[in-house]
Amino acid sequence: MTQPDQPAGGNPTLTAPTGPPPSANFPFLAPQQQPDEIGRLGTYRVLGVLGAGGMGVVFRGEDPHLKRFVALKVMLPQYAADATAVGRFLREARSQAAVEHDHVAVIHHVGEDRGVPFIAMPLLKGRSLSDALKANPRVPVAEAVRIVREMAEGLACAHARGLVHRDIKPGNVWLEGDRRRVKILDFGLARVATSDAVDPDHMTHTGAVLGTPAYMSPEQAQGEPVDVRSDLFSLGVVLYQMLAGRLPFQAANITGLLLAVVNKTPNPPGTENPEVPPSLDALTMRLLAKNPVDRPATAADVVEELRVAEVALGATEPIRVGLPTPHGRDPWASTANTEADSETATGLRTVSESRGTPATVPRERRRWLKVALVLAFVGLAAVAADGIIVKIKNKDGTETEIKVPDGATVTVTKNDKELGKFGPEAKVATPATASDRKAAEYALSLGGIVRVAGSLQIIKSPSDLPEKQFRLSEVDLHDNSKVGDTGLGAFEGCDEITIIWMNGTAIGDEGLKHFKSCKKLRSIGLSDTKVSDKGLAQFQDCKLFETIWLGNTSVTDAGLASFKGCTNLSYLMLTNTATTDVGLAHFKDSTKLTIVYLNGCSGVTDSGLAQFKECKTLTRLFLTRTGVTRQGIDELKKALPQCKIEWDGGVIEPKAK
């Protein structure tokens, strides 16, 4: 939708215009009943215009019964005569209303009045991600990861209901309130992903593909059938844009842009922003893979990878912004906002845009999202044959029933303490034990951070641990001088741990023995430690690894044999180890590798490189101070033209498609 003309200055307001309301501009509204109204729409009082463009207008309204302000998204009468357009408009409402998630904007009501369909939505504080990026195009890495992770969480919920959004872009992402919590907007193009046929309703009368070209997946740009992985491509474009400060695909016109989306592969965002870690570079490029098969399979998978990235980035701390602010106001430097200087989430552009300078407000410590249903009155959650029914007994003796969709999980908390959990995710593979609490408390006593199974919350204090028994899932003690073999016995029996991050500690082989029962490990960080081949033997039955860091250790080829058969491995760090071609052969089945560090591995030669030819997702390979030759590099480059290779002969950039 197009952006309306902007006034010369002034702050946006969320009140009706002064003077006589311009009701003549909107003859479809029912007559005003109070002086501050433009008119009425259904049961809503219409107080002012928030935005306009394309086929609709957005009003600031009030629900007189509930005494709450709302945004009313209305289809203009001249377009309401088009049955296809009305169907798309109503489908947006139904699609969005079906997705009940903290990171998807709520639909209060869908109605029609005097031949005009409309949607009532919350009046959110904040601004769109699009406007925030206009003020400062490059986002601090940790903040970009957090925003995209929350987007992925909302998409995962939509995808679980069979919906593909098909128009993920910064303009459809709202950053709400002080924390800039993500709300996904505008499901106007969303469809159920069930048909393999080309969707005629996804084309205009002239055959143009609906959507936003710069953020479309290649399959969407070509009018082909799409599934949830199309949204993941768009998510990758948004992530790239925030990290690099520019779009990955650019051209002088729409035709050129669509061709670029289909045919060109951009350089990784890390080439534009040195603060982007290699693992995040790799994830971004996998999201932007031309073939949907090469992208992450689900939004939930993306969430998990971004959670790991957040831990590595230490994103629980306030972000210190050191980036220039060429456009004046830096939206990433402060989270303060009041209704008087905020905009409203509507899916349309607002009529006016703030050009004032807000007061500087210290950023609060980030509060991590609690995946929970917080009930004011704790009641009973019953598991019925057709799903979960939550029954709440109110103070006045009445009961409220909430039916939870199949497959969903309900978590009840009070004062951030979990009181109960119901649903599929509540089931754990094995019962919780006292060992998990003991281990968590030990890690926290050393200044580490942990996560427990079924929660996204990063825990830094024993007081934040759940009161009920839990399973420990992630432990981060990296660069902690207090960590050694002594005391790690606390982790005996913690067999649900998936991530152990102990780079830069004094842990050795004796300490690793205590993690022998951790068969579900996905990520392990042991670089710059005392571990050797003997210690790695504890992990020979762990085949779920996605990330392995062993740089600057005494590990040899014999120790690497413990990782044979790790087919999900994506990130391998072996810098300055005694790895040779023999050791690399242990990873011949790890064809999903995306980034490999072999700097300083002098025993690696052209023969060892040959096995990487089958790693078609490999985007970065570091080979300085190895035994490889120009011939070996040239042969590898032919097999992997999209891989960036750094070796003693220089840097070989990916080949542009």
125 vs 112: CA distance, rounded Å: 26
Do 220 and 226 touch, CB atoms closer than 8 A? Answer: yes
Other CB atoms within a 10 A radius of the CB of residue 249 amount to 24
Closest C-alpha among 275, 268, 332, 279 to residue 304: 279
Paired sense of beta strands 116-122 and 109-113, if any: antiparallel
| Terminal C-alpha separation, the chain | 32
In the block, residue with structure tokens 């969903």: 408
The residue annotated as part of the active site, out of 63, 82, 113, 167, is 167
Contact 299, 232 (CB under 8 A): yes
Element holding 239 (H helix, E strand): helix 228-244
List, as one string, the DSSP characters of 513-553.
GGGTT-TT--EEE-TTSS--HHHHGGGTT----SEEE-TTS
Nearest of 581, 560, 556, 554 to residue 572 by alpha carbon? 560
| 3-state per-residue secondary structure call for 145-162 | HHHHHHHHHHHHHHHHCC
What does the alpha-carbon distance between residue 25 and residue 84 come to, in Å, rounded to a whole number? 25
One-letter amino acid at 652 equals I
Burial 392-424 (b: 16+ CB within 10 A, else e): beeeeeeeeeeebeeebbbbbbeeeebbebbbe
The token pair at 483 is 């960590």
Which tokens hold the place of 418? 């979990």
Which pair of structure tokens corresponds to residue 602?
């002098």
Separation between Cα atoms, residue 167 and residue 130, nearest integer Å: 13
Distance CA 298, CA 301 (A): 5
Tokens 């740089």, located at residue = 551
Q: Are 623 and 598 contacting, i.e. CB atoms less than 8 angstroms apart?
A: yes
Q: How far apart are alpha carbons 18 and 15 in whole angstroms?
A: 9
Q: What is the DSSP letter of 252?
A: S
113 is catalytic: no
Give the Cα separation of 234 and 247 in Å (integer). 11
Cα-Cα-Cα-Cα torsion 273, 278, 282, 288, nearest 10 degrees, comes to: 0
Bridge pairing between strands 68-75 and 163-164? unpaired
For residue 286, the Cα-to-chain-centroid distance in whole angstroms is 14
Q: Tell me which residues are annotated as active site.
A: 167
